[in-house]
Amino acid sequence: MSHEADALGLPRGILAHHFSSLERQNEAMRLGMWLFLATEILLFAGLFTGYAVYRFQFPLAFQEASRHLNITLGTLNTVVLITSSFSVALSIFYARTDRPRAAALCLVVTLLFALAFLGVKAVEYAEHFHEHALPGKYYAYEAVKVPGAAMFYTLYFLMTGLHGVHVVAGMSVLSWLLWRTLQGRYSSRYYTGLEMGGLYWHLVDLVWIFLYPLLYLI
Amino acid sequence: MRLSETTDSLAGAPPLETLNYLTDGTTVMSWVNTRDHKRVGVMFLAAVLVAFFLGGLFALTLRMKLLQPGPFLMDALSYNRLFTLHGVVMIFLFLIPAIPGAFGNFMVPLMIGARDVAFPRLNLASFYLYLLGAAIAIWGMVHGGADTGWTFYTPYSSTTPTQVLPILLGVFVLGFSSILTGLNFIVTVHTLRAPGLNWMRMPLFVWGIYGTSIIQVLATPVLGITVLIVAVERFAGFGMFDPARGGDPVLYQHMFWFYSHPAVYIMVLPAMGVISETVCTFSRKNPFGYRAIALSSLGIAFVGFFTWGHHLFVAGQSTFDAGAFGLLSMLVGIFTAIKVFNWVGTMYRGAIKFTTPFAYICGFLYFIVFGGMTGIALATTSLDIHWHDTYFVVAHFHFIMVGASVMAFLAALHYWFPKMFGKTYSEGWGLVAAALIILGFNATFVPQFLLGNYGMPRRYYQYPDHFQALNVASTAGSTLLGFGFLIILIYLVIALRWGARCTQNPWGSKGFEWLSASPPPTHNFDEIPTITQMPHDYRTHEPPGVIRVS
């Protein structure tokens, strides 16, 4: 079944034997990715539900505790992530206009932004540890003593922790895509793989865009 | 039916002497590293059968203990561990992956005229995740087990000294396996249907699997995050569900049942799909109400998401919520009834062939009606308060999960055994085993309905003496049930090794999976068929078993 792949001049192994055309395969990959993103959103949905329930239960503690987060670092991280979403989109643009080196460069930039995000997050975490603003039974933060503040930090650590795991997962995906881009796999004829990685990275960004106001602003 | 008739009219089904998927590469590596959906299906089948055997052994041991009230055969902690293991193994390692993993993987591409599922590597990964999850969970079971029941209710699950953590992590990994299977099927059905196979010609089994996959993809992540939170709670004391720290254990119940109630439909929808296929074959009739059966699968998948609150009727839920969840739960009964009437309508005036799979169809119909009706009763708040957490509930869900799902699993196993392995089994022993299983099942669970109604709570080690007679009856029934399964195991192993070579379509079925050879070659079809008719169209003039495609 590789005759179509040959005709298109695609590298080997891109068109799987059981798909009748590359178009069909791209369609399948996109649908699969969107479904996967739906499962990711539902994974976070459990935590968002928990947040809603406990915010309703402890409104004062949540307001108070949220004011004690470092809003400067939170905002900085939001800017970093949104910019990284732009750079990953740019890398897809370069790949589909046959500029693989520029595409690879954009991926490197995205990875650096991701590292910066993790770095800033680590600084924030260190601050929390220092102040004993920790979840559940470890909570001993002097500044906020309203009942329910510990629950805020429980949710804060669960949500940002799970998001952090996704940043790391996204970084491994992007590194792998970087390697494949350098191999010359993506071009105007085929760039779906890169597009999928980009979609995943946008999701990581999007989750943060919800976490930021919930944890830092309101 | 003679083979020559079939091959002439089929879209290039190869003669039987050519390599099939079983003989095309026989090294261990060719299995371990396969991308073939059929081999993944067979590996899933083997794995879930092992799980079923284990879970069954646990169940039989539990029943043996319950022969006597109080200390007998094992201490209370072992008893608690054992019913937890029984639940975890049967639900996460058997019922959820059983039909989609084994038969869905094998049949869906064949039925829709595809050469494989959309993502073959992901499919294999899903099997390995299953093995990994199973290994982690079993490791936990060996090293102490858990005594929480398969529901892991907090705060007990976050404080008990038993090994809950590995079992939770195992469940988390198994969830990933389930998500990947479901995702793969949805994409496969959307993108790999053969030319001419529009949605309203799709085999009903594929509809069932499609509905199941939607639930797997949308509900499983919520279970994932829930067990993850409990795991974090256990090793780090985060306290999200711990009332001592302002947490709400009822929130856990909501999140857990948001997955675990739809999970019942993950177990039942594929079973319904199997029945929809087999009932046509053995009644030699077109499906009665094809559209209604197909769409009610989606109906169940949809409504199934809004019923979870019926597990919380006595957990402090408001009366309004309880009433709403009760009503929504009853809607499931309507969709199920639509299917039941259509299956019976398919049988009506059909040329019924009473084979082993048909015996299981009959068992299935009886169990799903009985189990379904008691479910409607349980969805009624006032009645549920009487039956909540009693053996009545245990009997009810076993009627659905074992009665319906396992009957359909056995129907599928017997119906597709020739398709998968090209061998025939002993029909006589098949019927004997079916009779034993259906009888034994009734003898096991009907007494449990009575016990529950008299007030015996589930998961209790001790019970008053006057409950003993019914408990003994139930244990006796479970022994019959066990014998039935043992017979199946024996004759299927014999059939695998020494069974007679079957023809390409031994049942004379007009389901699309029989378009390919039995067992199919690795690439399924030499040429992708163009579908020009409905599945199971028995009104055509071709001889039995010949499926006309262009």
pLDDT per residue over B383-408, tens digit each? 999 999 999 999 999 999 999 999 99
Token pair 């996704």 in the structure block, residue: A166
Alpha carbons B154 and B168: distance in angstroms, whole number = 13
**What is the phi/psi pair of residue B458, to 5°?**
-75, 160
pLDDT of residue A6: 57
Q: CA angle, B310 as apex, B397 and B467 as ends, to 5°? A: 45
In this structure, are residues B516 and B186 in contact, taking their beta carbons and an 8 Å threshold?
no
Encoded amino acid at A81, one letter: L
**CATH architecture of the domain with residue range A42-217:** Up-down Bundle (1.20)
pLDDT per residue over A83-134, tens digit each? 999 999 999 999 999 999 999 999 999 999 999 999 999 999 999 999 988 8
Angle between helices A149-182 and A22-57 (to 10 degrees): 160
In this structure, are residues B472 and B435 in contact, taking their beta carbons and an 8 Å threshold?
no
Q: Which two tokens stand for residue B184?
A: 């793969």
pLDDT category at B167 given cuts 50, 70, 90 is very high
In this structure, are residues B281 and B509 in contact, taking their beta carbons and an 8 Å threshold?
yes
- B3-515: CATH number: 1.20.210.10
Choosing among A2, A15, A18, which should be mutated to test the B contact, i.e. which has the most B CBs within 10 A?
A18
- Domain layout of chain A by residue ranges: 42-217
Can you tell me the mean pLDDT for B437-450?
96
In this structure, are residues B127 and B44 in contact, taking their beta carbons and an 8 Å threshold?
yes
Residue B508, Cβ neighbours under 10 Å: how many? 17
**Burial letters for A87-111: b for 16+ Cβ neighbours within 10 Å, e otherwise?**
bbebbbebbbeebbebbbbbbbbbb
Which residues in chain B have Cβ-Cβ distances shorter than 8 Å to A31? 186-187, 190-191
The reported pTM is 0.93
Cβ contact B233–A157 (<8 Å):
no
Q: Of the candidates B217, B245, B247, which has its C-beta nearest A35's C-beta?
A: B217
Cβ contact B187–A28 (<8 Å):
yes
Mean pLDDT of all residues in chain A? 92
Helix (H) and strand (E) counts for chain B? 19, 0
Closest CA to B185 of B272, B274, B116, B133: B116
Q: Which two tokens stand for residue B507?
A: 């049942």
Neighbouring residues of B131: CB distance < 8 A, sequence distance ≥ 6: B47
pLDDT per residue over B96-152, tens digit each? 999 999 999 999 999 999 999 999 999 999 999 999 999 999 999 888 889 999 999
pLDDT of residue B456: 94
pLDDT per residue over A19-44, tens digit each? 888 889 999 999 999 999 999 999 99
* DSSP structure class, residue B525: -
**Burial letters for B376-411: b for 16+ Cβ neighbours within 10 Å, e otherwise?**
bebbbbebbeebbebbbbbbbbbbbbbbbbbbbbbb
- N-to-C CA span, chain A: 56
Token pair 């090793």 in the structure block, residue: B235
pLDDT category at A1 given cuts 50, 70, 90 is very low
Choosing among B245, B259, B516, which should be mutated to test the A contact, i.e. which has the most A CBs within 10 A?
B245
Alpha carbons A17 and A5: distance in angstroms, whole number = 10
Alpha carbons B92 and B412: distance in angstroms, whole number = 20
The answer to whether residue A2 scores a pLDDT higher than 50 is no
The answer to whether residue B46 scores a pLDDT higher than 60 is yes
Cβ contact A154–B238 (<8 Å):
yes
A18: closest chain B residue by CA: B115
Cβ contact B229–A46 (<8 Å):
yes
* DSSP structure class, residue A137: G
DSSP string of B88-123, one letter each residue: HIIIIIIIHHIIIIIIIHHHHHHHTT-SS-S-HHHH
Nearest Cα of chain B lies from the Cα of A165 at a distance, in angstroms, of 13
pLDDT of residue B239: 86
Q: Of the candidates B219, B225, B238, which has its C-beta nearest A135's C-beta?
A: B238
A52: closest chain B residue by CA: B251
pLDDT of residue A17: 85
